Amino acid sequence: MFDETLIKVRLREGLLLDIRFKEPVHCTGYFDGQGWHSCPYSNEGTKKCDFCRAKDISRLYTIADESGFKEIYNRIKNNEFSVYLALFGDKIKCGVTQSKRLWKRVKEQGARFFAEIMRFRDMKTAYGWEKYLQEFYGFKNSISFIDKLKDKDNVELLNQALTKIKEDFSEYILKDISIHHIPFKSFPNAKRVDYIKGRIVSLRSDIVFFKNNLIYYVPMKKMEGKTIEINKFV
Ligand SMILES: [Zn+2]
Distance 38 CA to ligand 1 centre (A): 7
Distance in angstroms (rounded) separating the CA atoms of residues 164 and 173:
11
Q: What is the mean pLDDT of residues 149-167?
A: 95
Q: What pLDDT, on a 0 to 100 scale, did the predictor assign at position 1?
A: 42
Whether 86 and 103 share a structural domain: yes
Q: Report helix, strand or coil for 130.
A: helix
Within a domain: residue 194? yes
Single out the residue of 17, 55, 43, 1 nearest to residue 200, CA to CA: 17
Q: What is the mean pLDDT of residues 33-62?
A: 88
Q: What pLDDT, on a 0 to 100 scale, did the predictor assign at position 4?
A: 54
Distance in angstroms (rounded) separating the CA atoms of residues 100 and 16:
33
| pLDDT at 134 > cutoff 60 | yes
| pLDDT at 161 > cutoff 90 | yes
Whether 198 and 153 share a structural domain: no
- In this prediction, residue 233 has a pLDDT band, given cuts at 50, 70 and 90, of low
**Number of structural domains the chain divides into:** 2
Identity of the highest mean pLDDT range in 27-31, 50-54, 156-160: 156-160
Single out the residue of 33, 109, 37, 116 nearest to residue 76, CA to CA: 33
How much is the mean pLDDT over the chain? 92
Segment holding 137, helix H or strand E: helix 123-137
| pLDDT at 72 > cutoff 50 | yes
How far is Cα of residue 175 from the mean position of the Cα atoms in its chain?
27
Distance 59 CA to ligand 1 centre (A): 15
- The whole domain housing 212 covers 16-73+186-233
Distance 222 CA to ligand 1 centre (A): 17
Q: What is the pTM of this model?
A: 0.88
